[in-house]
Amino acid sequence: MNRLIVTLFLFCSLVLVAQDNTNQNENNKSEQIKVIDTTFIQLEKELNKATSDTLKAQVLFKMGVHFYGKDFARTKRYLLEVPEILKANDSFSNGLRGQAYQYLAAATTDRGSYPEAMTYFVKSMAYFDATKDSIRMANLFHNMAILHDFQGDFQSAKKKLYQAIHINTIYKDTLGLAYNYSTLGENYGMMKEPDSAMLFFNKAKKLFTSIEYQNGLNNLKAHLAKFHRGLGDYKQSITLFKECLDYGVKNQIDVYQIIYANKLAWSYKDYGDYINALKYNAQSLDLAIKNNNKQWIVNGYLQKSEIEEHLGNYKKAYESAQFYKQYSDSIFNKKNIKKIQELELTYQFRKEKEKDSLQLVKEKEIAETNAELLSTKNKVKTQWMLFGGLGLLGLFSIIYLLRSKKFAQKEKLMQEEFSKDLINEQEKERTRISRELHDSVGQKLMLLSKKTKSLGDISMEKLADSTLEEVRHISRGLYPSNLERLGLTEAINALIYDMNANTDLFFTEEIHNIDKLLSKDSELHLYRIIQETLSNIVKHSEAKAVKINIERTENTVEVFISDNGKGFDLNSKKDSITLGMKTLFERAKIINTNMDLKSSLGKGTVITLSIPIKHG
């Protein structure tokens, strides 16, 4: 469970460890003296002075973090108040909600309540996804890796850790990277790949040391202690776990003391020192019972039963096994239940040696009946675990579908943003080329025209003049200089006049003055929409007449363009819509409006837009 504590401190940027707990001289006193919690007193004062919901939520969050590992009930109570009290839906509030649920998930996981913890993790993920907080998403990948480890799926855990490391590397998150290296080292250790494990342990140590982060170094020691225990190096494992336990005692972090005393007991048991194993088991178990930490109560009684069995104290082993059964309903383990059956039968056997053979047979029959009943109970529990697993699978499926939907929405937004950027870049390039033609090529053609006039060559003079006019026409098409010189209203009028003069179309127009109602960019996009629409009518519609109305209302600019051309079937054209038409729709989105297009065969086409006016 060391990795759960690693997860907690990786989860949150705010780390409140060992505050006002520097009472090193207390060890000299014969009686335990209650330490005044000055940090909590100060936080209570801040809460009373808080003048807004946001400030109250921030203080409640600090209070919840302060009691982590010391008082689960308080941790849960204060952290649950954070999302309830926050009313705003801004990035800061969502981030704080996400952090509160992260701490709740970590604290709940430490107690073995995995379904409840998963609920909090899902909520946290939703808030961090909304705020696009990549660092905290990396933390969630870290947490998912730990859940995979619990299930023995080390390959999936490794993939999640590498995803987290990728994000940590991009954002130069040294602390997150160190924790993920440390956990990856433990992962490789469990996969029996010691060389890879030590590689990542050393990387983690280097990073933790570079930022002088003692809590990270302590958790790394715990990983190394477990690693050495797995290799059979029990002396080194005991040394490291003792250092971890001393750190927990010094900083008065109960959950550290529970975990590391328990791990130390296992190492002593494996080493064959059952007296010390029993000593540290008692230290861990007493504190776990005081904190009502069910997971470590279960682990502690199972551990105690095994140690007592090795010492030959079968009655005590059996009693501890009974306590284990009492607490293990929520953390069922088939292998451990089988162990309880064996201890029970062993105890009954030794007890019945003092009785006659008939009584021994009777007690054995009772033991076998109990074993059969327990087996039936195990089947029922297995069924409940199956149903619970299916429920979690359903929950994960729903989460996956929701995230897929969000991903599709994000992809759509990214595509729209890309189209917007592409159009804007096209306009910049058009403007640049237009100015080059006007200022460079245009000026040179003008000089050429003057020279041909002085030479008296009429044919050359006409060619120079026509070329100059053609370049000017191309330049105006690339960028409407009239828009800057005359304003939007007159630029549109000039565009219609030019179309009217150079085509057989009959124009009817009613155009209100809409200058300075829109931003410069919106004016350009509206002009382009009208320009492209009229160009499409000339090229494709076979129309005889065009009607254009542009009206100003209190909050909008209303644009109406219709023709009496051949029209087209919208349903059949949806999949083959031209690039030009797609650009029109994209420009409409850029100016925060929808372009309504209506057309039918033989009845012409109508385009309408309603553009919001820029106020202030």
The enclosing domain of 507 has a CATH number of: 3.30.565.10
Q: Confidence class of residue 1 from pLDDT cuts 50, 70 and 90?
A: very low
Name residues whose C-beta falls within 8 Å of residue 561's C-beta, 6 or more positions apart in sequence: 530, 533, 534, 546, 547, 548, 606, 607, 608
Lowest model confidence (mean pLDDT) among 142-146, 521-525, 546-550, 605-609: 142-146
Tokens 């006016």: give the residue. 613
The pLDDT, as a whole number, for residue 286 is 92
What CA–CA distance (Å, rounded) separates 461 from 412? 55
Instruction: Find the domain containing 567 and state its range.
Output: 485-612
Tokens 């074993």: give the residue. 371
The answer to whether residue 49 sits within a structural domain is no
The answer to whether residue 530 sits within a structural domain is yes
- The percentage of residues in the chain with a pLDDT greater than 90, rounded to a whole number, is 12
Instruction: Please tell me the total count of domains within the chain.
Output: 1
The answer to whether residue 540 sits within a structural domain is yes
Amino acid identity at 574:
K
Q: Confidence class of residue 387 from pLDDT cuts 50, 70 and 90?
A: low
The answer to whether residue 562 sits within a structural domain is yes
Tokens 């804007």: give the residue. 424
The answer to whether residue 403 sits within a structural domain is no
pLDDT tens column, 240-259? 999 999 988 998 888 889 98
Q: Sign (positive/negative) of CA torsion 267, 269, 273, 279?
A: positive
The answer to whether residue 362 sits within a structural domain is no
The answer to whether residue 440 sits within a structural domain is no
The answer to whether residue 503 sits within a structural domain is yes
Residue pair 113/134 in contact (Cβ under 8 Å)? The answer is no
Lowest model confidence (mean pLDDT) among 125-139, 511-525, 568-582: 568-582
Nearest residue to 84 via CA among 42, 109, 56: 56
Helices in 272-333 by DSSP H: which ranges? 274-290, 294-311, 314-327
What CA–CA distance (Å, rounded) separates 611 from 553? 10
- C-alpha dihedral over 403, 409, 412, 416, to 10 degrees? -130
More reliable by pLDDT, 19 or 484? 484
The pLDDT, as a whole number, for residue 347 is 45
Question: Global pTM?
Answer: 0.41
What does pLDDT average to over the chain?
A: 76
More reliable by pLDDT, 164 or 569? 164
More reliable by pLDDT, 361 or 232? 232
Nearest residue to 559 via CA among 518, 524, 510, 519: 510
